Structure 1
Amino acid sequence: MVDVKRRGRVWAGAVVAAVVVLGIGSYWFQPWKLWRDETVSEALPTAAAPQRPAGSSGGSDSPGGSGSPGGSGSSGPRTLARGTLISHEHATTGTAKLIRLADGSHTLRLEGLDTSNGPDLRVWLTDAPVKEGVAGWRVFDDGKYVSLGKLKGNKGDQNYEIPADVNLADYSSVTIWCDRFDVSFGAAALTPA
């Protein structure tokens, strides 16, 4: 009789331990995301052109002038750099673009993004070189990087505002970074447009 009670307690303890391990594993890996796509379809943001003081011509003394493409007085967005996403930990395709809006603010735009969903995915600007294959999976947190926020969706077109204090000259690549496992899902080297 004592042996039966002891076995019952062992089984109960094993079941409780299995439930705890399963719960922690589910939270950590979030396996349901492997079967659930999140599609985002954002239009390129528009920003009003800056207002010039009355009587100002916006002529040659302003950088870029109002007539030059991409100058602060230009009428629309200008692509400064672009790159094609390559696969790392997960198959990833699409295009990354650094865009200056008419008001002088900057946006990172992901177009035609197609990658796997996963836990704690972020969009980072980095100074790391983009390397093909396994050699490129973990390099992006070795140097300088800035997080632009959580990945909005694993598919589609989406925009990420770049903070005004970020010096774009310091960054040469973008990665879809899994912060939970410190690995790149995919990345793109940014080259001047």
Structure 2
Amino acid sequence: MSRRRRLSRRTLVPALVVLLLAVGVGLYLFQPWKAFTSTTVDEALPSASAPSMKESGKGAGMSTARPAVTRDLARGRFVTHEHATSGTARTVRLADGGQVLRLEDLKTSEGPDVRVYLSPRRAGAVKTGLGDGAVELGKLKGNLGNQNYAIPDGTDLSEFRSAVIWCARFSVSFGAADLARAAG
């Protein structure tokens, strides 16, 4: 009987160690607690003032700044892929010439390693991958609300067809929005 007990101890301890390691790796990869949490972000659209007359040297004593002018370049509504996703994506040119991707009224799931991309593929096609030339704009700041992502200088927005919420860990799209060019 003691030999049988030793055998079971010899197999039970390593089996428990392997099981604990597997659970630890699973928790790291899947982060299941994120199914029960939410992060809300409420950023204003970035703005800048145009140079005042005094700052530009064109007037003596005038120091009131003109309000900044922003311009919508494209916009679209999110469609659901792997996780329920809704809201609006807008590309905006700021008064200083910079460009941002603005997500408004975003609602999606939290997940491990979720990122925001611009993709050359249409929203329906990114279910199978982002496509060559996709540009990462950063980690998703929150799964709810309004947020801005700077678009790198020199990015030609005419090459991109959609904004994508992408889980890099599992290579899946949570949702995407086709970006239709704004009139004007």
Structure 2-normalised TM-score? Answer: 0.88
Residues 11-57 of structure 1 deviation map (CA, whole Å, 9 limit, x = unaligned): 1111111100000011111111111111111111112325785459x
Partner of 2:147: 158
Q: Tell me the CA shift for residue 159 of structure 1.
A: 0.5
What residue number does 2:11 align with?
10
Give the unaligned 5+ runs of structure 1: 57-72
Aligned-residue sequence identity (percent) comes to: 47
Q: Where is the helix percentage greater, Structure 1 or Structure 2?
A: 2
Q: Is the 8 A contact 1:49 1:74 kept in 2?
A: yes
**Structure 1 counterpart of 2:68, which letter?**
S
Trace 1:93-104 onto structure 2 (pairs within 5 A).
93-104=86-97
Q: Structure 1 residue 165: deviation in Å?
A: 2.1
Where does structure 1 differ by over 3 angstroms across 4 or more consecutive aligned residues?
Answer: 50-56
Counterpart for residue 172 of structure 2: 183
Residue from 101, 105, 123 that aligns with 2:98: 105
Q: Is 1:174–1:189's contact at 8 Å kept on the other side of the alignment?
A: yes
Decide which of 112, 126, 137 is 2:127's aligned counterpart: 137
By how many angstroms is 1:110 displaced?
0.2
Match of 2:76 in 1: 83
| Number of equivalent positions | 173
Change (3 A) 1:169 1:50: farther
Separation in structure 1 between the aligned mates of residue 7 and residue 94 of structure 2, nearest angstrom: 71
What residue is the counterpart of 1:46 in the other structure?
A: 47
CA distance in 2, matches of 1:7, 1:149: 50
Counterpart contact for 1:91–1:115, Cα < 8 Å: yes
Measured after TM superposition, the shift of residue 75 of structure 1 is 3.0
The root-mean-square deviation of aligned C-alpha atoms, in Å, is 1.8
SS class of match (1:137): helix
Conservation of the 8 A alpha-carbon contact between 1:88 and 1:184: yes
- Partners of 1:8 and 1:120 lie apart in 2 by 39
* Per-residue deviation, residues 55-88 of structure 1 (Å, max 9, x unmatched): 59xxxxxxxxxxxxxxxx9832111110000000
Aligned-pair distance for 1:136? 4.3
Structure 2, gaps ≥5 residues long: 60-65
The question of whether the paired residues in 1 share the 8 Å contact of 2:49 and 2:67 is answered with no
Tell me the TM-score normalised to structure 1 length.
0.84
Cα distance in 2, alignment partners of residues 81 and 172 from structure 1: 9
Partner of 1:125: 118
Partner residue, 1:172: 161
Deviations 1:168-191 (A, max 9, x none): 121111100110011100000101
